[in-house]
Chains A and B, each alone.
Chain A
Amino acid sequence: MGREKEKQNPSEKALNLLRTRLSNPNFIFKPLSDSPDSNYSKLKFIISSSVTEACNNSILLLGPRGSGKVAVLELVLGDLLQQYPEVISVIRLNGLLHSDDNCALKEIAQQLCVEHQLLFSKVASFDDNSQFMIAMLRECGLAHKTIIFVLNEFDYFAQGKQRLLYSLLDAMQSVTSQAVVIGVSCRLDVDQLLEKRVRSRFSHRKLLFLPPSKEDTERFMEHILSLPVDSSLPHNYTVEFNARLKKILSDERFKELINTYLSFNSTIGHLVRFLFQAVSYLDLDVGFLSLENFKTALSSMQRQPKLECIREYKSIHDSFQTSDYYARNVCLRAFEHLLQHQLISFADNRGHNQSVEFRPVKLLISLAELHQGLKSYRLCPMFYLDLIKIGFWILPLVQACKLHKIPAFDSFLVCYVNYYCCGASFLPLKMVKVAFSRQLS
């Protein structure tokens, strides 16, 4: 009992360690920032040289969401605040909250007051606030302190008359102030949104945050999931863990898995979420990560609400099943359910004159989704999956109805597929029933 507890403890500790790591943006982006060519070093160089040379600068950080712009910025700011503790003050604004000029100036004034331990008056007018800001900039310039303005969601500040941007950037044109303006945005063309005179005052420096290459991704995963050898975990456990991890990472199936996952969103944020899920599936008894963990994570992340419906739908219909499997009312109800869940829709817009049975329908979910939904539903017979693998064309209603799990459908499906292979893209329900009953007889 005691021994089992001991055996549990390292894996629990490992799990906690990994989960903490994956939730900590600092840790995630540090390995990617080590090379001198990285965005981290470039950003750090620009800001620190502005601080030391006492000149003004402005820079834009661009990249898709989840690529680590704010994380790297916070890393840089953290390092610089340690290096120059009294010299830098940071003002943070967010375009979603502060795009209105009044609001933004108030926020700037408030943050400046907090930084320099002054009292902030809530009734200060726009004029007062802007004069205060300019006066503070001048004071800090004389005292050789740099103010760093971080503008998140920069594209929202570029709406309207851009007065805040203009006054900030204009204040930086004078020798007396010492400020750095850092804009963070996910729009690549954000500087086209700026007015001519604001753009002229902006220094055109842009740092692009691109998703990492395949090799970098692999190295990153290895780094982040390997347990440190000198931690409090038992040494042989760590070694074993890391060895197994290495084997998984070099497995072809794993590589394919990752490639599929990253093929529509390859940012680091997306990858980290996946890794977090995978790590959470770590079996505490076994104590090591396995390929299965990753596969489960993948399927859980790609779960879609409509596929949930498919499964759920099946459980509803189990309760309706009668011995007469192909009962008409069951079929109809199944049909209506599918309509409701928007898995299918009518292919034509003719009125509701015709009875439901005779209208052509088409499947709203794609073949791949159907495939996945059926796969994740473990009791689905292989035959259905094989059928799906035949082609990529739009399936008619009945194939969706086969989720109803009526065994007698099997033989019917054969004939129906023959019909289908002739090129029809949808079938009216009546024809299906006809074909179906023909089979049964």
Chain B
Amino acid sequence: MPAIADRNSSPFKEMVATRSGDIARFNGCCTPQKRSLRSNAAAAKESPVSTPMKLKSPRRRLNSNPNSPANGIKGDFNEKPMKKNWNPKDFEQMRAVKEALHVSTAPSTVVCRQYEQKRVLEFCKVCVAQEKAGSLYVCGCPGTGKSLSMEKVKQQVIEWATMEGLQSPEVLAMNCTSLANTSDIFSKILGKHQPKKKLTGSTSPSQHLQNLYSSKQSLSGSKMMLIIADELDYLITKDRAVLHDLFMLTTFPFSKCILLGIANSIDLADRFLPRLQSLNCKPMVVTFRAYSKDQILSILQERLSVLPYIVFQQQALELCARKVAAASGDMRKALCVCRSAAEIHEAELRECASNLSLTSVEGEFISQQTAPALEIFQSQENNTVRIDHMALALSKAFRSPIVDTIQSLPQHQQIILCSAVKFFRGGKKDTTVGELNKSYIDICKSSLIPPVGILEFLSILRVLNDQGLFKLGQSRDDKSKRVTLKVDEADISFALQGVRFFRNCLQ
């Protein structure tokens, strides 16, 4: 299980005192200066230039260092601080923003998943209180917060058990992709139960566990075991034995395990564990639906609320949320797009700065033209990430590189693509190299372009196959290999519409 930071405080507290004496400023060059080490937290000194306290909450900042010349933030606050716009030229601010939006930063509170978390927590509480075994299956698309929620539940169960005075359960959290053998999961569970005992050769770990759970005295008085198995579908083997045995462990009379399985497919339990239904111990299913637009928006805002300045325009965030919700509802993608929009904004400002520095050398008569640019540059309002940056980031993330590539292909490769499109228009799905060659030669003839020979034709086909535009089959004879077009005809027509020759060709 990837170790999410198990510090009790917010992860941003770490970033508070991370400066050592000399900070290099982000001076608009291509490579940002090396930042100081996070581990120097203890040795943080006040630097006259930098703003170490910036990332604390505004209230705390008021009480602490009053003489910090924070960029863009003046000293006279009232009780309710108004969020100023950020200064993207400041390296530290930029870094803080990117870190706030990074996927690996665990937020302190998990918004939008309270209902699901509550359900799982209640289930675990019941099991721990009654010392009863049970199984639960968590499913949902990638990026919907399953693993994150399970981590929280794990902590909450332990806290609750300690509070209630019950024996807090042992926890075994693991990712099933790290198992070399699917049946290793049993040895791991066994290892947790009896860490000192070595296995004797004859019984398999699975059998051993079953024996253990069937007799009363072997595990009396020991704690419950909370097993969180991530990416459960890696345990699916051909005979489905491992998965079945794992869930069956909870059905034994003296079983001590509470099993939480996480996977993507909704019907895993139905498809792979049909026998459990007859025993009336089908696992409870908690579905994590894909995030809706509002949920994505609120999550983004919650993440950005730890920063004391406004980074994104509201419309930009809404656009991102809407687009990502419509596409997949994957939170990771939304975070990635926002980070990329911030980077685009940063790059634009950097370019602006370098242009200005160039023009400032060139003399006075240009200064009239650059004056308005300077004004825009210096005004704070325009330093938020705008909707056009977000739109650009979205198009980069969602667009496939096919259209660009087709447009930049050399001429003969484009002609071959066109000939394939024309050939497959009749409804056929694949053809042989020889036929395609004929079609290609026809097109070349009609436009008086000398066609390339068969050897070059084959090598071009191979190049296009490598790029994923065609699919070449196998055959002993070169000319009878099957060729399929893997790109949509609409994409090709769109890409080549700028050239009249291809437009006529594809009509």
Contact = CB atoms under 8 A, between A and B. Distances in A.
Interface of A: 36, 41, 44-45, 48-49, 51-56, 62-65, 83-84, 87, 125-127, 130, 138, 142, 144, 161, 163, 166-167, 170-176, 186-190, 196-197, 199-201, 203-206, 208, 210-211, 262-266, 304-306, 364-366, 368-369, 392
Across the A-B interface, give the 4 residue pairs with the lowest CB-CB distance, nearest first: A200-B142, A174-B2, A264-B412, A266-B410
B103 to A, nearest CB: 6
Contacts of A210: 404-405, 408
A172 B405 CA distance: 30
B31 A44 contact: yes
B404 A204 contact: no
Interface residues of B, number: 71
A144 B31 contact: no
B336 to A, nearest CB: 5
Interface string B320-346: 000000000010110010001000000
A166 B177 contact: yes
Given A44-B30, A176-B5, A211-B408, 9 more contacts: A52-B31, A64-B467, A83-B31, A163-B177, A166-B177, A189-B400, A200-B142, A210-B408, A365-B454
Given A201-B332, A208-B401, A369-B453, A48 B467 contact: no
Contacts of B35: 52-54
B180 A126 contact: yes
Interface in B210-250: 231, 234
A170 B2 contact: yes
Interface string B99-128: 100111110000000000000000000000
Interface string B365-381: 00000000000000000
Nearest to B94: A53
Interface stretch (B268-276, B278-286, B455-463): B455-463
B39 A265 contact: no
Given A36-B30, A41-B30, A54-B35, A167 B264 contact: no
Contact of B102 (A55, A161, A170, A392): A55
Interface of B: 2-5, 11, 30-35, 37-39, 95, 98-99, 102-106, 141-143, 175, 177-178, 180, 184, 231, 234, 264, 330, 332-333, 336, 340, 347, 351, 354, 396-397, 400-402, 404-405, 408-413, 441, 445, 450-456, 459-460, 463, 466-469, 486
Given A263-B410, A366-B454, A196 B141 contact: yes
Given A188-B400, A368-B452, A52 B34 contact: yes
19 contacts: A44-B30, A45-B31, A54-B35, A138-B3, A144-B37, A144-B39, A173-B103, A188-B467, A188-B469, A196-B141, A197-B231, A200-B142, A200-B333, A206-B401, A262-B410, A264-B412, A365-B454, A366-B441, A369-B453
Nearest to A191: B400
B408 A48 contact: no
A392 B405 contact: no
A299 B463 CA distance: 22
B142 A197 contact: yes
A207 B284 CA distance: 44
Contact of A52 (B33, B178, B455): B33
Nearest to B180: A126
B464 to A, nearest CB: 9
B491 to A, nearest CB: 11
A183 to B, nearest CB: 14
Contacts of A176: 3, 5
Nearest to A87: B34
Given A65-B463, A196-B264, A262-B410, A84 B34 contact: yes
Nearest to A394: B441
Contact of A175 (B11, B32, B184): B11
A368 B11 CA distance: 69
A84 B402 CA distance: 36
Given A175-B105, A204-B397, A264 B460 contact: yes
Given A64-B467, A188-B400, A188-B401, A263 B455 contact: no
Contacts of A56: 102, 104
Given A56-B104, A174-B104, A197-B142, A45 B30 contact: yes
A265 B463 contact: yes
B104 A172 contact: yes
Contact of B404 (A84, A208, A306, A368): A208
Contact of A368 (B30, B95, B453): B453
A265 B354 CA distance: 36
Given A44-B30, A65-B466, A264-B412, A161 B38 contact: no
A366 B31 contact: no
A6 to B, nearest CB: 44
A299 to B, nearest CB: 14
B104 A173 contact: yes
A186 B106 contact: no
Contact of B31 (A48, A65, A171, A304): A48
B438 to A, nearest CB: 11
Contact of B106 (A175, A187, A305): A175
Contacts of A196: 141-142, 264
A173 B351 CA distance: 31
A170 B174 CA distance: 12
B34 A54 contact: no
Contact of A304 (B4, B32, B453): B453
B4 A174 contact: yes
Contacts of B405: 63-64, 188, 208, 210
A87 B33 CA distance: 13
Nearest to A197: B142
Contacts of A144: 37-39
A64 B103 contact: no
Nearest to A190: B468
A438 to B, nearest CB: 32
Contacts of A41: 30
A189 B491 CA distance: 14
B445 A55 contact: no
A188 B39 contact: no
B467 A187 contact: yes
Contact of A189 (B104, B332, B468): B468
Nearest to B340: A205
Given A44-B30, A53-B98, A142 B401 contact: no
B455 A167 contact: no
B231 A130 contact: no
A172 B451 CA distance: 50
A41 B347 CA distance: 11
Contacts of B37: 144
Contacts of B34: 51-52, 84, 87
A283 B102 CA distance: 60
Contact of A366 (B95, B402, B451): B451
